[in-house]
Structure 1
Amino acid sequence: MGAGGLSLSHIDDAGHWMFTDLVGLDVGTGLRTWTVVTTATGVTGFALTALPWQVVQVRVQGRSPMPVGRGK
């Protein structure tokens, strides 16, 4: 659920600086690479959340509501 917060990174992102330093890239290349990676992660996270939601939604809509005031 938090994967959507990673999309479209900016230069002030701490993850960008750690990634750029660890991999040894210059700032421009690191930002382009990091933005593509985080956007792919965000889209994948959205898809992995949206697809199961469609299954759950169909199953819930197919059930009838519970009867109210059923006595013993």
Structure 2
Amino acid sequence: MPTLLVWKGHRFLFYSKEIGEPPHVHVLKDAKQLKVWLRDLGVARNAGFAEHEVNAILKVVAQHRQSFEEAWDDYFGH
């Protein structure tokens, strides 16, 4: 479960056994979780984040998308 970034208490990561899924990142804070597809920045799943939090997180993902995709490719060998 490589952590890619910690921002304002949010952990941006991907799970090591997610082979076969398109590149994405999970964002965890407290008991909340968000899953974001990296290619189009679409929200795959939201468990607990308010809309304004999702919007702020999506901005951070957009800023770091290239490095997140590179980390995904390095880890999964694409």
**If the length of structure 2 is used for normalisation, what is the TM-score?**
0.31
Name whichever structure is richer in strand by fraction: 2
Larger Rg: 1
- Which has the larger share of helix? 1
Higher relative contact order (CA 8 A, sep 6+): 1
TM-score (normalizing by structure 1): 0.32
